[in-house]
Structure formats: C-alpha cells, structure tokens
Structure 1
Amino acid sequence: MMNPAALEIYSFLMAQNLEFSRICHPAYHTRAQWKQALKKSRTQAVCPVSVVCQEEESGKTVLFLAAESPEAQVCSPPPGLLPAGAAETAALCQRLRCLPHTLSPLALLFDAPPYCGILVQPELYREKLWCLSPCSEESSVLIPPEALLRQFLPAAKRK
C-alpha cells in the first residue's frame, strides 16, 4: 500500500505530465539496497545522495544533491555549506513528510512556503536518469534531471 506522501507525489508527477517511471520493490532502508536493486535491474540511473546543509552566511537550509563517490561514505558539501546536524535533518524530514533515508528532491513538493533550497553537484547533470525516493521505502522514481529541475521543482513551488 502506498503511503499518502508518495501517492501525492505520483499524482503531482502525472498531473504535470512529467516523464518518469515508477519501480515498486520491497521496503528498502539503506542506500546499498537501492543501489543493488538498480544494479540488478540494469537500469542506467544514478541515486544522488541528498545531504541536508545550511548556508554558512545565512543559515538557510539547502538540500545538496551529490554523486556518491566510491571512496567516501559521506559526501562533502561545497564551500559555503555546512552539513546539518541530526536534529536539523529530522526537522526538515518531518516538514517534508519523509524519513531521512527516503529524503530526495521529490519531497520538496511539501516545502510550502518554500523553506529549503537545492544545489546540485555539477557531475550529476551529465547523468541521463536519476533514481529518487518519493518519500517511500517501497518504490522509486526514475526521472531525467531536466524534468525534475526544469518542470517538477518550479511547478512544486507554485503549488
């Protein structure tokens, strides 16, 4: 059964007529499980890491999307951003109706009024497909970065 947040995200994606695919799977609780499933499916997609950060100057919350590097467990945000603590991450996840391990840019649909910015690591723009959680452990969304960044996010802010 789909949770209410995921149902709202899928409904929004369809209402906006966005290009995406839905993958249903057993409940995944770790990135390793998501990555293994993608590998098995032979889908040419990447799972960006969503890191909650705060701007050093303003303290504004930013969701930093990074490519996972094989040698690093945790992605380092760029200069000017500091990783948020567990309490700040939990507060943002509560606001965005997700769990820390299901946090993705799709959750920004629930960021009203807009509170959280987004910053994408440049290497991710080269990827053709991103695998993101729709605030659910039991499904994933495959979406082209262009559709997410140029259609989904602007429409979500207007919602």
Structure 2
Amino acid sequence: MTDHDTGHPRTPSRSDGDARADGTAAEPSSVRTTDLFEVLAHPDRRVVLSALCATGDDLRVEPLAAELVRRDDAVSPASFDGSLAGDADTPPSEATVSAGALRSATVSLVHNHLPRLAAAGLVRFDRDRERVRPTAAFRRMQSALETLLETGASVERQTVRTVDSR
C-alpha cells in the first residue's frame, strides 16, 4: 500500500480494480489484509473508519478533521456518537476546535490519511468536493471492520488501565 522507498501512499494499480470506460480506475473489489492492518495502525484513520461505520454515508472532510482534534486515540464504532462537529454543512465553531488544530488535522487527512484509505480500497476520496465515502469493499467488510475497531479500542483501554495501575 505504501511505496517502501518514500513512505508515501501508493496508487492502486490497474490490477487492483478494472478500468472504467472513461479511463479512471474502478474501485478495488477487495482489500488486502496487509493493507487493512496498515491503515488500522494509525488512530486518525481509525477515527475516519469508525465515523464511516457509524454513519454509513459520505462525510465532509472538515467535520472529520474536527473530530480528530476533539477525540482521543481509543475509538470504536460503539463509542462514536453518530455526530460530527459541524456536520450540518456548517463549519465547527472555534469553541469546539482551534483554527490551527483544525487546519493541521485537515491537511493530515487530505494529504496522508484519506489517500492511504483510498489506496487500500476502503474509501473514495473526492478532493475537489472534500468528501469521503465508503467503497463497496468497505461495505462488504463493514461488520468485520466494526469488530476490529471495537476490539482494538477495548485492548487500548485495557492497556491504559494496566499501565495506570502500576
């Protein structure tokens, strides 16, 4: 999924999915296990996947960025309350997140995390409209994703409790 020489997200090859008549690549029909675990390794990508699992719909980038700013690393679909700051087509208020933190999270999503999720075949990212939506491959494996995200969050919570009790 990443170019191991540069560390940048790789672009899916034609073998990842069939080409459409207009020459654009179609969504991959499946997600490689290695790619799945690689994208799950970062807490910001887990926030995005949890939000997509919870809403099942396309999401705007800015509310996702606001969510990254306001949430901690232990995320799961069960802990996601179904709302994103500024989700009603209005930007999050400055009381919710600082402008600098929101800008930093947006840049991180647009230039790193969303392209990686797209390269893995889990999302379609429309950079022009600043929207992300789940792919057919995501929908086919949504139940397994939810289980992985919830289990990972549970393990993280248990680890924190164990470390804090020492």
* Higher RCO (C-alpha 8 Å, min separation 6): 1
TM-score normalized by the length of structure 2? 0.29
Tell me which protein shows more helix as a share of its residues.
2
Tell me which protein shows more strand as a share of its residues.
1
Which of structures 1 and 2 has the bigger CA Rg? 2
